[in-house]
Structure formats: structure tokens, C-alpha cells
Amino acid sequence: MPTSPPDGPGTPGFPPQQPRNGPGSAALVIGSIGSFVAFIPLLSWIACILGILAIAFGLIGYQSARKGLATNKTSALGGAALGGIALALAVIMVFAAASFAGNMADRAEKATERRDAAPYTVPPVPEEASEPLDNELVDDAPVRFGETQNYAGGVRLTVAQPDEFAPDERISGVHAGDRAIRIRMTIVNNSDEPLDLTALPHLEDANGKDVDPLFGTRAGNRPFDGVLAPGARATAQYPYVLPPRTAKELRVEVAASLGYEDGTWTGPVG
């Protein structure tokens, strides 16, 4: 029975098959890169992709090694393991970054809420001390009859205590049972400018009821008139009628001249 001759040196044979170590080697390289990139917060998403690829290539390389098609079984398993580590680290870093961003957003929101809830107050502007004008009183507090009110420009105004007199019933505005008083005023012009004598007192009682003036020379009305020169003095007298129910305490408001601040005098009839 004929048999096949044995292969000799001159007989061509089949070349040996090369091992398929590519997937295992790729898994090891990609897994190593993914594990490194996973620690960089902004590149964690890339580590996720590299980790998945390393696991896939590692499994392919492991299967090839089991079938005898590859000789780098250890590299394939190591690459798959590194891919898993890279994937896990990437996931952890992503969640950590998300948590950090959430905490920062919460802090910013709470800070905004506290700022909005706090009432805004305008810091007070310090008032500059200013000197009164020439037509303003140095002290505008009410004074008693007989005292003097001083203006910043040098004008001085004094209202004497009212004195009572017996009114002539022939005077217009006087009725039976009424009393009459005189308000005497003195103005001293210590300023450098002439002063128009336009002062006219307003009189009311302690209940806020106006007291009517009397007019005419028969009632003793001698008002201010003309212009008061610097350094000069002027006096005037104004009569008023007091009905029976007028309060005993009186209040006089008057200014030294037109445009000047009103001074206030209070007190009883003398």
C-alpha cells in the first residue's frame, strides 16, 4: 500500500500562524492612559470612553488567548483591569465635580438670598455745619416777653410784656366787657445795611385763638414806618382787643422785616 513520503527539507510546508496580540496590547495602553486621565477633572469624560475601550479590547484579547490565537493573556487582563479602574475613577470624579458645583451654586444662592433679605440702608451723609443767614435767628427757640431775639446779621428785636389799658368804646371793634392791650416792640439795626420797617406782629392766646388788632391813632396804634439806618433804633406800639374769654397766656410771632425769620414771644399780660 503506497504511503505519502515524509516532508523533507526540500518540501514546502505551511508557515506558522502569528499570534493576535493587538487587542491585549491596545487594552493595556488605553487602560493606562485612561487611569491617568481620570484624575484630571475636566477630562474625566474622556477617561470614561478610554476605560470602556480598554475593557472591550481586554476581553477580546483574553478570548483570543484562550483560543490560542494570542500569547499576551496577562496584558489583556491587565488592560481590562486598568480600563475598569479608569472607568470607576472617571465616574467618581464626575460625581465629585457635580457635587462640588452644586454646593457652590447653593452657597451663591444663599448668599444672594441673605443679601436681598437684608434691608439696604443708605449711609448717612454728615451734615456740614452752616452759619445762619443774616435774616435768620441765631436761636429760633421761643423766648419770654421782654427778652431779645438776635439775627445773624446784627438786627435785634425785642417784644415787651403786653400792658393793659382801658379802651375807648368809640373805637371800632371794641365791645362792652372787652379788654385792650398794647404790644411794644423795639428794633435795633446793628447790621451794615438799611432795614425796611415792615414788622407786623401776629397775636394769639394759649388756646391758639387769634387776637384781633385795633386800628387808628385813638387806639394808640403807632406802627413801624420807613427805613431804619445802620446803628439806629426804632420803637412801635400795636393795640389789640381781648374778648372776655381770651386765655391769659399770649403768644406773639413777628419778624424784624420782610423776608426775615419770625421770632416767638410768650407770656401773660402785665
Same domain, 253 and 186: yes
Residue 5 has pLDDT above 60, yes or no: no
Query: Are 23 and 61 contacting, i.e. CB atoms less than 8 angstroms apart?
Result: yes
Same domain, 210 and 250: yes
Residue 199 has pLDDT above 90, yes or no: no
The grid coordinates of residue 99 equal 457635587
Same domain, 164 and 237: yes
Same domain, 38 and 111: yes
- Model confidence band, residue 245 (pLDDT cutoffs 50, 70, 90): confident
Same domain, 249 and 151: yes
**Residue 202 domain flag:** yes
Same domain, 88 and 184: no
Query: Which amino acid, one-letter code, is at 239?
Result: P
**Residue 128 domain flag:** no
Give me the pLDDT at residue 7, please: 46
Same domain, 262 and 202: yes
* Highest-confidence segment of 43-57, 63-77, 180-194, 198-212: 180-194
- Model confidence band, residue 1 (pLDDT cutoffs 50, 70, 90): very low
Residue 4 has pLDDT above 60, yes or no: no
As a whole number, the mean pLDDT across the chain is 83
Same domain, 151 and 256: yes
pTM above 0.85, yes or no: no
Instruction: Give residues with Cβ within 8 angstroms of 26, minimum separation 6.
Output: 57, 61, 79
**Residue 12 domain flag:** no
Give me the pLDDT at residue 15, please: 62
Alpha-carbon gap, residue 70 to 20, rounded angstroms: 5
The grid coordinates of residue 82 equal 486598568
**CATH of residue 163:** 2.60.40.1240
- Model confidence band, residue 148 (pLDDT cutoffs 50, 70, 90): very high
Which of 98, 116, 134 is the C-terminal boundary of a domain? 116
Same domain, 182 and 229: yes
Residue 128 has pLDDT above 70, yes or no: no
**Residue 35 domain flag:** yes
215-250 b/e with 16+ CB inside 10 Å = b? eeeebbbeebeeebeeeeebebbbbbbbeeebeeeb
**Residue 3 domain flag:** no
- Model confidence band, residue 10 (pLDDT cutoffs 50, 70, 90): very low
Residue 72 has pLDDT above 50, yes or no: yes
**Residue 8 domain flag:** no
Same domain, 245 and 151: yes
Give me the pLDDT at residue 94, please: 84
Which of 69, 99, 116 is the C-terminal boundary of a domain? 116
**Residue 233 domain flag:** yes
Q: If you search the block for the grid coordinates 419770625, which residue do you land on? A: 262
The grid coordinates of residue 17 equal 500562524
User: Domain range spanning residue 71?
Assistant: 22-116
Q: At what angle do helices 44-66 and 73-117 cross, to 10 degrees?
A: 160
DSSP of 163-183? EEE---TTSTT--TT-EEEEE
Same domain, 176 and 218: yes
**Residue 6 domain flag:** no
Give me the pLDDT at residue 112, please: 81
To 5 degrees, how large is the angle CA 188–CA 157–CA 249?
A: 150
Same domain, 176 and 261: yes
- Count the helix, strand and coil residues of the chain and give each as a percent rounded to the nearest 5: 35, 20, 45
State the total domains in the chain: 2
Give me the pLDDT at residue 169, please: 67
